[in-house]
Amino acid sequence: MAKENFLKENNAQHFWHPMAHPSEMKNNPPLIIRKASGLEVEDIDGHRMLDAVGGLWNANLGYSCEPIKEAIRKQLDTMPYCNTFRGITNDKAIELSYKLKDWFSIDGMERFFFTQGGSDSIDTAMRLVRQFWKVKGKSEKTKFITLSKGYHGTNYGGGSLCGDARFRKNYEPGIPGVFHIPTPYTFRNVFNEENPEVLSQKCVENFKEQISYQGADTIAAFVMEPVIGSGGVIVPHPNFMKLIREVCTQNDILLIADEVICAFGRTGEWSGSRLWGVKPDVMTIAKALTGGYFPMGAAMMSGEIAETIEGNNDMTGMLGHGFTNSGNPVGAAAALAALEETLRLNLASNAKARGAELLLGIKKLKTKYELIGDVRGQGLMACLELVGDKKSRTPLDKNTVGELFKEVCDNGVLVRASGNNFILSPSLIIKSEHIERIIDALDSGFKKFLN
């Protein structure tokens, strides 16, 4: 009990929590999670919950994947660290690069730069894209265009790409040369357009207008998540990414697919780009790469980018970029084990099947509760957008969202409250019985709150 009291007394007192106001955390201390196994987490008071957040989009294999744990233990005994800066490498990083090429060759990816996570991967992609154009002799191509609801991490480059002001406003000015176009978000958009195909076309036309205004010769890349994750699980019309790809190709603009959330099966396909039948020029990965067991990511480049930079004969092609843990052998060992398990269990197929069940369940909840304005999903990523008034679509206030969140947790399921959204992204090993449990907990939580 002494240890529990110590933890509660010091909760949110000495370190700041991401995506939260420090004073709010002090006044309303966060849940203290002490244990995790299988698909469940347990708080400090012994209350167990099914984790419908999947860690943070990353615990695709749950919390008890023994092959990953064993790979980490073995690598720690063999060699816990080795850098990959000029002149040094390690066996696990080499093996992982080969495995990733095999995995993503269908997407056109041929070279890999290892990072420490998703935010690092996006900033790496941005730097390497600018470098690519310099090597090509087109040094004015430095600008980035992206979506107004996209989320691309919190490093300075990726943070500047984020469309949501919550991730930018307090840190501006960001990097210059970043511009946003409307997101194909049928529930809320500047066009008041609810037809997804028509909205998709209007957003693409806006992209074309930006190109005309900025000049294609100044734009380095368009950056997008195949399915927007943290921005509210916004699933575009199936033709949207294809149209963006076409416009990029016509205007000599690279396409960066931020696959940090989507890759490795979450959308029901092995990559979000593959889901829409698109080959980007650059892809970023992290999260499920190691199943959440070790922080690691990568930026992945097409053959054209690889040939251009590798074929350079001066210092313009030198990679003046890297991280202490680029290609960390423990992370690489964890990733190799995670990828093997991901394939063995065919998690993409399970995400597709269970995701259909999850979407059907939350659609039924929408018909029962006026507080649910919209529901969206693709594979095992889903969202319930909560409103104070269904007709005006006024976002539900923060305090009410917090009360609902507590009711659902009390019913034994952990969801993620983000703004006026409940976001669901459970582990990909989930079964139908767990989907039912998530829906039942949401149903009971809404019912109890309203009563």
What is the tens place of the pLDDT at every residue in 98-144?
999 999 999 999 999 999 999 999 999 999 999 999 999 999 999 99
Are both 196 and 331 inside the same structural domain? yes
Are both 266 and 247 inside the same structural domain? yes
Are both 254 and 215 inside the same structural domain? yes
The last residue of one of the domains, among 308, 326, 344, is: 344
Distance CA 30, CA 19 (A): 12
Rg (the chain; Cα; Å) = 22
Distance CA 158, CA 173 (A): 13
Check residue 451 and give its pLDDT: 82
The last residue of one of the domains, among 344, 379, 414, is: 344
What distance lies between CA 403 and its chain's CA centroid?
A: 26
In a domain, 391, yes or no: yes
Are both 340 and 351 inside the same structural domain? no
Cis peptide bond upstream of 280, omega within 30: no
Please name the residue ranges forming H helices in 109-266: 118-135, 156-161, 196-214, 240-250
What CATH number did the domain enclosing 413 receive? 3.90.1150.10
Altogether, the residues listed in the chain come to a count of 451
Total domains, the chain: 2
Q: Of 159, 77, 85, 149, whose CA–CA distance to 118 is shortest?
A: 159
Check residue 403 and give its pLDDT: 94
Are both 46 and 75 inside the same structural domain? no
Band of residue 90 on the pLDDT scale cut at 50, 70, 90: very high
What token pair was written down for 97? Answer: 């690069």
Three-class SS of residue 235?
A: coil
Calculate what percentage of the chain has a pLDDT beyond 70. Answer: 100
Starting at the edge strand that comes first in sequence, how are the strands of the sheet with 413-414 ordered?
33-37, 40-43, 48-51, 413-414
Inter-CA distances, 112 with 102, 105, 152, 197, 369, Å: 12, 12, 19, 34, 47
In a domain, 26, yes or no: no
Q: Hunting for tokens 């997407």 — which residue is that?
A: 107
Inter-CA distances, 364 with 19, 293, 357, 360, 448, Å: 31, 35, 11, 6, 17
- Say what the pTM is: 0.96
Are both 329 and 358 inside the same structural domain? no
Residue 1 has pLDDT above 80, yes or no: no
What token pair was written down for 43? Answer: 């708080």
Residue 2 has pLDDT above 70, yes or no: no
Are both 85 and 147 inside the same structural domain? yes
Q: Hunting for tokens 């734009």 — which residue is that?
A: 219
Are both 197 and 93 inside the same structural domain? yes
For residue 21, give the amino acid letter.
Answer: H
The last residue of one of the domains, among 288, 321, 344, is: 344
Are both 351 and 337 inside the same structural domain? no
- Cβ atoms within 10 Å of 394's Cβ, excluding its own: 12
Band of residue 270 on the pLDDT scale cut at 50, 70, 90: very high
Are both 209 and 311 inside the same structural domain? yes
Q: Which residues lie below 8 Å from residue 404, measured CB to CB, with a gap of 6+? A: 371, 386, 417, 422, 445, 446, 449
In a domain, 56, yes or no: yes
In a domain, 7, yes or no: no
What token pair was written down for 20? Answer: 């939260």
In a domain, 357, yes or no: yes
Band of residue 8 on the pLDDT scale cut at 50, 70, 90: very high
Distance CA 324, CA 85 (A): 8
Are both 40 and 104 inside the same structural domain? no
Domain around 413:
31-61+347-450
Average pLDDT over the chain, rounded to an integer: 96
Distance CA 315, CA 272 (A): 35
Mean pLDDT of 206-216: 97
What is the tens place of the pLDDT at every residue in 371-405?
999 999 999 999 999 999 989 999 999 999 999 99
What is the tens place of the pLDDT at every residue in 232-248?
999 999 999 999 999 99
Distance CA 160, CA 156 (A): 6
Mean pLDDT of 75-89: 97
End-to-end Cα, the chain, rounded Å: 35
What distance lies between CA 400 and its chain's CA centroid?
A: 26
What CATH number did the domain enclosing 195 receive? 3.40.640.10
Three-class SS of residue 177?
A: coil
Are both 77 and 180 inside the same structural domain? yes
The answer to whether the CB of 400 falls within 8 A of the CB of 420 is no
In a domain, 19, yes or no: no
The answer to whether the CB of 336 falls within 8 A of the CB of 296 is no
Bridge partners for 421 per DSSP: 385, 418
Distance CA 229, CA 436 (A): 23
